[in-house]
Chains A and B, each alone.
Chain A
Amino acid sequence: MSKYILKRILQAIPLLLIISIICFALIKLAPYNAVDAMTTQSMPIATVNLIKAKYGFDKPAYVQYFLWIKGILSGQFGYSIVTHESISNDLAARIPATIILVLPSYIISLIFAIILGLIAGSNKNKIIDKIIDGFCSIAIAIPSFWFAMILIFIFGYKLAILPILGMNTIGMEGSFSDSMLHYIMPSFVLVIAFLPELARYVRSSTISQISEEYVMVQNAFGASRKDILFRHVCKNVLLPIITKVGMALPMLVTGGVITETVFGWPGVGPYFIHAVQGLDYPVIMAVLILSSSLVIIGNLLSDILYCLIDPRIKEME
Chain B
Amino acid sequence: MKNRRIKNVKDELKGNKSAILSIAFLVFITLLSIFAFLIPMNPDAIDTSSILQAPSLVHLFGTDELGRDYLVRTIYGGRVSLLVGFLAMVISTSIGVGVGTISGYFGGKIDNILMRFVDIISSIPWLILVTIVSIFLKPGLEAIIIVIGMFSWMEISRLVRAETLSIKEREYVLYANSIGESSAITILKHIIPSVFPTIIIASTTSISNAIMTETTLSFLGLGIQQPMSSWGNLLQNAQTNLQSAPYMAILPGLLIVFTIYSFNKIGNVLRVFVEPKIAGGGR
- Residues of B with C-beta under 8 A to A258: 127, 216, 219-220
Identify which of residues 225-283 in chain B touch chain A, using a CB-to-CB cut-off of 8 Å.
235, 238-239, 242-243, 246, 249, 253, 256-261, 264-265, 281-282
> Chain B: which residue is nearest A258 at the CB level?
B216
Tell me, in angstroms, the Cα distance from A288 to B18 when the chains sit together. 40
Query: Contact between B222 and A207 (Cβ–Cβ < 8 Å)?
Result: no
A125 to B258, CA, bound (A): 23
Would A143 and B253 be within 8 Å (CB), given that A149-B238, A149-B239, A284-B132 are in contact? yes
Chain A residues whose C-beta falls within 8 Å of the C-beta of B282 in the assembled complex: 124-125, 207
A276 touches B135 (CB 8 A): yes
For the complex formed, measure the closest distance between the CB of B198 and the CB atoms of chain A, giving whole angstroms. 18
Residues of A within 8 A of B281 (CB): 124-125
Contact string, A112-155, partner B, CB cutoff 8 A, digits 1/0? 00000000000011000000001001101111011001101100
Judge if A6 is at the interface, Cβ distance under 8 Å: no
**A262-294 Cβ-contact flags toward B at 8 Å (1 or 0):** 100000000011001101000010011001100
Taking the closest CB of chain B, its distance from the CB of A284, in whole angstroms, is 6
Please report which residues of chain B, range 107-133, place their CB below 8 angstroms from some CB of chain A when the two chains form the complex.
116, 119-120, 123-125, 127-129, 131-132
Partner of A143, one of B125, B212, B221, B246: B212
Residues of A within 8 A of B125 (CB): 250, 254, 291-292, 295
Nearest-neighbour CB distance to chain B for A236, whole angstroms, equals 19
Query: Which residues from B are CB-within-8-Å of A292?
Result: 123-125, 128
| Contact between B239 and A299, CB atoms less than 8 A apart | no
Chain B contact surface mostly: helix
Which residue of chain B is the closest to A158 with respect to CB atoms?
B246
**Which B residues lie within 8 Å of A279 (CB)?**
135
Interface residue? B215 (CB, 8 A): yes
Please provide the chain A residues from 153 to 169 with a CB less than 8 Å away from any CB of chain B in the complex: 153, 157
Q: Are A142 and B265 in contact (CB under 8 A)?
A: no
Given contacts A15-B120, A143-B215, contact A153 B220 (CB under 8 A): no
Tell me the bound Cα distance from A152 to B238 in angstroms.
12
Q: Which of B216, B220, B242 has the most CB of A within 10 A?
A: B220
Chain A residues near B132 (CB, 8 Å)?
26, 276, 284, 288
- Is the Cβ of A288 less than 8 Å from the Cβ of B253? no
Contacts A/B (CB < 8 Å), 23 sampled: A15-B119, A19-B123, A22-B120, A124-B282, A125-B281, A137-B265, A140-B260, A140-B264, A141-B208, A141-B257, A141-B258, A141-B260, A143-B219, A143-B257, A146-B256, A153-B242, A261-B220, A277-B221, A284-B132, A287-B128, A288-B124, A292-B128, A295-B124
Which residues in B have their C-beta under 8 angstroms from that of A276? 131-132, 135, 222
A51 in contact (CB, < 8 A): no
Cα–Cα distance between A152 and B257 once the two chains are bound (Å): 18
Instruction: Other than A19-B120, A153-B242, A250-B125, give 15 A-B pairs with Cβ distance below 8 A.
Output: A140-B264, A141-B264, A143-B256, A149-B235, A149-B253, A153-B249, A157-B242, A258-B216, A272-B128, A273-B131, A277-B221, A284-B131, A284-B135, A288-B132, A291-B125
Q: Which residue of chain A is the closest to B265 with respect to CB atoms?
A: A137
Asked whether, in the complex, the Cβ of A138 is within 8 Å of the Cβ of B128, the reply is no
Taking the closest CB of chain A, its distance from the CB of B250, in whole angstroms, is 9
In the complex, chain A residues whose CB is within 8 Å of the CB of B246: 153, 157
- Please list the residues of chain A having a beta carbon within 8 angstroms of any beta carbon in chain B: 15, 18-19, 22, 26, 29-30, 124-125, 134, 137-138, 140-143, 145-146, 149-150, 152-153, 157, 207, 250, 254, 257-258, 261-262, 272-273, 276-277, 279, 284, 287-288, 291-292, 295-296, 299
Report the bound CA distance from A143 to B221 in whole Å.
Answer: 15
- B249: chain A residues at CB < 8 Å are 146, 149-150, 153
- A291 engages B128 (CB within 8 Å): yes
The answer to whether B264 touches A137 (Cβ under 8 A) is: yes
Assembly CA distance A157 to B249 (angstroms)? 14
Bound CA span A291–B124, Å: 7
1/0 per residue, CB under 8 A from A, across B145-170: the answer is 00000000000000000000000000
**Cα–Cα distance between A296 and B123 once the two chains are bound (Å):** 6
Residues of B within 8 A of A257 (CB): 127
A26-B120 Cα distance, complex, nearest whole Å: 15
Which residues of chain A have C-beta atoms less than 8 A from B235's C-beta?
A: 143, 145-146, 149
B123, B221, B257: residue with the most chain A Cβ atoms closer than 10 Å: B123
Report chain B residues within 8 Å CB of A149: 235, 238-239, 242, 249, 253
Closest to B248 in A: A149
CA distance A185 to B270 in the complex (A): 37
Cβ–Cβ < 8 Å partners of A272 in chain B: 128, 131
Bound-complex Cα distance A186 to B11 (A): 42
Query: When the two chains form their complex, are residues A138 and B220 in contact, meaning their CB atoms are under 8 A apart?
Result: no
In the bound complex, do residue B123 and residue A295 qualify as a contact, i.e. CB atoms below 8 Å apart?
yes
Q: Name the interface residues of B1-45: CB closer than 8 Å to any CB of A.
A: 18
B215: which A residues are within 8 A, CB to CB? 143
CA–CA, A254 to B120, complex, Å? Answer: 18
Q: Which residue of A lies closest to B244 (CB)?
A: A157
Report the nearest A residue to B133, measured CB to CB: A26
Instruction: List A contacts of B260 (CB < 8 A).
Output: 140-141
CB contact list, B85-144 vs A, under 8 A: 116, 119-120, 123-125, 127-129, 131-132, 135-136
